[in-house]
Amino acid sequence: MAARPAVAGPAAGAPRPAGGIRFDEVSVAYGGTTVLDRLDLTVEPGEVVALLGPSGSGKTTALRAVAGFVRPAAGRVLIGGEDVTDLPPHRRGIGMVVQSYALFPHLRVEQNVAFGLKAQKAPRREIPGRVAEALEMTGMAGYARRYPRELSGGQQQRVAIARALAIRPRVLLLDEPLSALDAQLRSGMLAELARLHRELPDVSILYVTHDQIEALTLADRIAVMDKARLRDVGTPQELYRRPRTEFTASFVGNANLLPVTVTDGGARLDGTELTLDTGDALPGAAATLCLRPHLVGLGEGPNTLRGRITEVQWRGATHRLYVDVGGHRVMADVRELREAPAPDEPVALHFAPEDGVLLAAGVSDG
């Protein structure tokens, strides 16, 4: 995690070139271990892209390659079309916010926010106005004279965001910016970040998170990372409705993943024939059927799966049923169930043909 604030950019007052980030086959290795493997990804000007993946998948490394804190072993990083691979961090025009806020404890809020402007040698007379503007944007105008220790965690993070915005960056890098906050503050800050983005429509945002809700809420597109590789990229809706890999299916939302054989008009799960859109899958091929639990209903239907209840969890708005279907565990999230079935009871489950997604076997291995 970067301990120092990366706030610097083109000379203050100069016209800001368009943003946009491009990873051109970027690889990063530490001591011979590749932690980022040929990342190819573009963030358009004004776009929010979330890098989503489990811990250790290479997300922060990708972000730090944009910031200039790690040097790629191969490939190029471009910002606004310009190759910045060899530029030092303070010449890249980026603002960065990290999980730990990284505010200077001995500086007042206004001095913290002014820090990057001074580092990039903004004209002195411009600094107070730019600091006030950034604090205004983040709702911290009334706290300019305080020290970080006099602020809550959420307020400190707002100051960190104000500091990143003060330099009017063309690219904003956010590394798990909400993970130090409690759940309620997090959802408030998520709305705030969405608002800030609307106010800064030209700024490209790269947002690192392991939290799918943050990614689904905020991102125009999500790039799913696993084990140093980009596994999938698409809009939140695309990845949720039509995941391409088992990894994406289970990391973005919940998924039932069932081993099936492709048939002419669908798939076969053990002895059960199912009707599905098979796309370009070839009959006879092994595949994985992805079913979202909330799209599985109780009772018979067009595609019926028979099994026995193993567990029922009440989740307020839904019941989560766990059903053993011929040795496969199937989850169904059922609404408005007056009487929940008891464990061991035989049940029928069904799903609509358009709600089953076939994933080619082996795609998850990249």
Q: Which of 45, 46, 56, 341 binds ligand ADP (CB under 6 A)?
A: 56
40: nearest Cα among 229, 234, 242? 229
249: nearest Cα among 276, 281, 287, 297? 287
Closest separation in Å from C-beta 69 to ligand ADP: 9
Structure-token pair, residue 52: 């989503």
Which of helix, strand or coil describes residue 50? strand
Whichever of 35 and 164 has its CB closer to ligand ADP, that residue is: 35
Whichever of 99 and 112 has its CB closer to ligand ADP, that residue is: 99
Task: Write down the residue that tokens 């009707």 correspond to.
Answer: 275
**231 is a contact residue toward ligand ADP (CB under 6 A):** no
User: Of the ranges 59-67, 158-166, 249-257, 303-311, which one interacts with ligand ADP (CB under 6 A)?
Assistant: 59-67
Binding mask 70-89 for ligand ADP (x = CB under 6 A): --------------------
Q: Which of 9, 10, 58, 253 binds ligand ADP (CB under 6 A)?
A: 58
263-272: Cβ within 8 A, 24+ apart: 266/303, 266/353, 266/356, 267/356, 267/358, 269/305, 269/325, 269/326, 269/328, 270/326, 272/304, 272/305, 272/306, 272/326
d(CA 220, CA 193): 13
Binding mask 31-50 for ligand ADP (x = CB under 6 A): ----x---------------
User: Of the ranges 57-65, 78-86, 140-148, 306-314, which one interacts with ligand ADP (CB under 6 A)?
Assistant: 57-65
Q: Which of 55, 142, 282, 338 binds ligand ADP (CB under 6 A)?
A: 55
Q: Which of 37, 48, 57, 292 binds ligand ADP (CB under 6 A)?
A: 57
Whichever of 58 and 89 has its CB closer to ligand ADP, that residue is: 58
d(CA 25, CA 37): 8
